[in-house]
């Protein structure tokens, strides 16, 4: 193997979290990868990894080597793509993770058209609202909604997502319409998630404030919350891509519009070593092109 292959092996081990996982992903034996990395450490004259029976820890020099190797490998990939022709068709497989409700609202029509545009690309899609670990679980691209944590991952903004407070006309006729956030304490609320303490956020005189809300039902699925609100069981707070149709047909009406917080951001997140991936970049640009703002439904 050449030094670049050793770099790729080391980066794969770092991102997979173990020799075993890296071996499975690369189709190599764990012993082969371990032997190559020992030879790499011998050649460099430094320890990159601290090995034990239970875990694999990177040394400070190993972390520095990993970051430098990622940059170098990305540059090599970009050079090779430039030589082979930037106008060549993207090809390869993208492992994509996306939020369930958003994917059901948008990706069902977008991804087939993307695959028609790029016939040499295939997509493996995992729909989940949990915060997947992009590196250890081997995803090439993740769509995330909301504030992102600081990390070495690369994030590209796709679009804004507006959330609204809403309830059914029948519920408001029976229980009254809240005119301020504080009045929600006298209403049945339908919060997203399973936490016993859920906070909704409001803009009050230019400042962001939070309010604890509660109700008879908590669920981690926006469509079920929407349908429960349509049935007249309370006030909910959801993205417009979930409740947009119900608002247009009058099944739900918006509330507290003057107190609505800033929109959320839909971001495409991917590892540094996928920065030069033509399939990944093609999908990111396609989503930015198709998901025009405001993203209402």
Q: Are residues 32 and 174 in the same domain?
A: no
Q: What is the pLDDT of residues 123-160, one digit of tens each?
A: 999 998 887 877 777 788 999 988 777 566 788 889 88
Q: Are residues 129 and 173 in the same domain?
A: no
In a domain, 297, yes or no: no
Contact 243, 226 (CB under 8 A): yes
- The span from the CA of 208 to the CA of 205, in Å, is 8
- The span from the CA of 295 to the CA of 81, in Å, is 34
Q: Are residues 186 and 52 in the same domain?
A: no
Q: Which residue has the tokens 């304490």?
A: 185
pLDDT at 68 over 90: no
- Asked which of 33, 60, 84 is the last residue of a domain, the reply is 84
pLDDT at 53 (0 to 100) = 54
CB neighbours of residue 129 within 10 Å? 17
Residue 175: phi and psi, rounded to 5, are -110, -10
Q: Which residue has the tokens 């703002």?
A: 293
**Mean pLDDT of the 87-92 span:** 76
Q: Are residues 253 and 275 in the same domain?
A: no
Q: Are residues 168 and 249 in the same domain?
A: yes
pLDDT at 296 (0 to 100) = 47
Of the listed ranges 76-80, 212-216, 276-280, 290-294, the least confidently predicted one is: 76-80
- The span from the CA of 215 to the CA of 225, in Å, is 12
**Mean pLDDT of the 54-60 span:** 79
Of the pLDDT bands very low, low, confident and very high (cuts 50, 70, 90), residue 213 is confident
| CATH code of 187's domain | 3.40.190.290
Chain-centre distance for alpha carbon 18: 24
Q: Are residues 35 and 179 in the same domain?
A: no
In a domain, 232, yes or no: yes
- Asked which of 84, 109, 126 is the last residue of a domain, the reply is 84
Q: Are residues 167 and 155 in the same domain?
A: no
Q: What is the pLDDT of residues 167-191, one digit of tens each?
A: 999 999 999 999 999 999 889 999 9
Q: Are residues 281 and 134 in the same domain?
A: yes
| CATH code of 40's domain | 1.10.10.10
**Mean pLDDT of the 45-64 span:** 82
Q: Are residues 234 and 204 in the same domain?
A: yes
Q: What is the pLDDT of residues 99-122, one digit of tens each?
A: 988 888 888 889 999 999 999 999
Closest residue by Cα to residue 118 from 275, 286, 289, 277: 286
More confident residue, 105 or 193: 105
More confident residue, 126 or 1: 126
**Number of domains the chain contains:** 3
Q: Are residues 172 and 232 in the same domain?
A: yes
| CATH code of 283's domain | 3.40.190.10
In a domain, 199, yes or no: yes
Q: Are residues 152 and 269 in the same domain?
A: yes
pLDDT at 79 (0 to 100) = 65
- Asked which of 84, 113, 129 is the last residue of a domain, the reply is 84
Residue 31 pairs in a beta bridge with none
pLDDT at 78 over 70: no
The mean predicted confidence, pLDDT, of the chain is 84
Q: Are residues 189 and 141 in the same domain?
A: no
Q: Which domain holds residue 279?
A: 92-159+265-291
Q: What is the pLDDT of residues 248-286, one digit of tens each?
A: 999 999 999 888 887 888 999 988 777 778 889 899 999
Tell me the pTM: 0.66
């Amino acid at each position: 193997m050449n030094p670049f292959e050793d770099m790729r092996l080391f980066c794969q081990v770092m991102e997979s979290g173990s020799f075993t996982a890296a071996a499975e992903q690369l189709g190599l034996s764990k012993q082969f990868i371990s032997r190559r990395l020992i030879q790499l450490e011998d050649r460099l004259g430094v320890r990159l990894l601290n090995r034990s029976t239970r875990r694999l820890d990177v040394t400070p020099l190993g972390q520095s080597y990993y970051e430098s190797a990622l940059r170098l490998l990305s540059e090599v990939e970009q050079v090779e793509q430039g030589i082979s022709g930037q106008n060549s068709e993207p090809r390869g497989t993208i492992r994509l993770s996306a939020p369930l409700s958003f994917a059901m609202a948008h990706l069902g029509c977008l991804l087939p058209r993307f695959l028609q545009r790029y016939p040499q690309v295939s997509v493996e899609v995992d729909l989940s609202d949990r915060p997947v670990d992009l590196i250890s679980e081997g995803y090439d691209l993740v769509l995330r909604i909301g504030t992102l944590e600081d990390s070495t991952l690369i994030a590209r903004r796709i679009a804004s997502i507006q959330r609204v407070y809403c309830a059914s006309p029948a519920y408001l006729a029976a229980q009254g319409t809240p005119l301020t956030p504080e009045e929600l304490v006298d209403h049945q609320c339908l919060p997203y998630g399973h936490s016993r303490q859920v906070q909704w956020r409001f803009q009050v005189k230019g400042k962001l404030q939070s309010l604890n809300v509660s109700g008879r039902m908590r669920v981690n699925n926006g469509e079920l919350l929407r349908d429960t609100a349509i049935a007249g069981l309370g006030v909910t707070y959801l993205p417009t891509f979930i409740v947009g149709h119900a608002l247009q047909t009058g099944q739900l009406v918006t509330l507290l519009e003057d107190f609505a917080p800033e929109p959320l951001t839909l971001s495409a997140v991917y590892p540094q070593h996928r920065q030069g991936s033509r399939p990944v970049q093609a999908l990111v640009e396609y989503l930015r092109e198709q998901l025009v703002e405001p993203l209402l439904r």
